[in-house]
Amino acid sequence: MRLLCGTLLGLSALTAFAMASPVKSAANSLAERGNDLVERNVLEPHGKDALVELYLQYGKGSQDHFMVIAKLSWNADGYFDQATSTGDVLATFDVSGTIGGQPFSGFTFLSHAADYLLLVNFIHDKNGKIQSCAPVNGYAQWLAPHNIEISPSMHHLCFVNGMQVGP
């Protein structure tokens, strides 16, 4: 009986090992289409587009923050004028201009599920390189008895295409 159990355990271990062995991946279905169409992730930046991750800290606790992720699309006129975001977040282009001699593009981010409204200016150079993100105003009120006011002085971190940029 012990020998039979040991043999069965050994066989099941070999079967599990064989099933966990690497398997050659299937060919890329896009390469086989032959119609020259390319699918891409809507948040993947192309050209001068920018994938932006903005973290806003509203309290002193390690969980007292929220994040906005969006892809900003650059236009030929020299500013970002479109945004693609994830989930229920609605991103809307508001304004472009200059602040202190620096060009900027302003966007509003609205989420009904997370319950926030946020206006952010993205300060960039004439070539589309974002140098900083500046929350202008807004509110957030999930899990809080009162609105959390968002202002330019709110602590925040901004990452563009994976690299941190100035406040």
Asked if residue 72 has pLDDT above 90, the reply is yes
The radius of gyration computed from the CA coordinates of the chain, to the nearest angstrom, equals 24
| Confidence at residue 40, expressed as pLDDT on a 0 to 100 scale | 45
Asked if residue 12 has pLDDT above 60, the reply is no
Question: pLDDT band at 143, cuts 50/70/90?
Answer: low
pLDDT higher at 141 or 120? 120
132 pairs with which residues across the strands? 123, 166
| Confidence at residue 11, expressed as pLDDT on a 0 to 100 scale | 41
pLDDT higher at 105 or 145? 105
Residue owning tokens 């009986």: 1
Rounded Cα distance between 157 and 154, Å, is 10
C-beta separation of 117 from 129 below 8 A = no
What's the pLDDT tens digit per position in 15-50? 433 333 333 333 333 344 444 444 445 566 667 889
Question: pLDDT band at 62, cuts 50/70/90?
Answer: confident
**What one-letter code names the amino acid at 58?**
Y
| Confidence at residue 14, expressed as pLDDT on a 0 to 100 scale | 39
| Confidence at residue 131, expressed as pLDDT on a 0 to 100 scale | 93
Asked if residue 6 has pLDDT above 80, the reply is no
Alpha carbon separation from 19 to 13, 14, 15, 23, 39 (Å, rounded): 10, 9, 6, 9, 32
Domain residue ranges of the chain, discontinuous segments joined by +: 50-165
pLDDT higher at 7 or 23? 7
Is residue 20 helix, strand or coil? helix
Residue 64 CB-half CA count within 13 A: 10
Is residue 90 helix, strand or coil? strand
What's the pLDDT tens digit per position in 79-136? 999 998 877 889 999 999 999 999 999 999 998 887 889 999 999 998 889 999 999 9
C-beta separation of 49 from 42 below 8 A = no
Rounded Cα distance between 138 and 119, Å, is 6
pTM of the shown model:
0.70
Q: Among 128, 117, 111, 129, which Cα is nearest to 165's?
A: 129
Q: What is the mean pLDDT of residues 60-73?
A: 86
Q: Among 150, 151, 167, 148, which Cα is nearest to 159's?
A: 167
Asked if residue 10 has pLDDT above 50, the reply is no
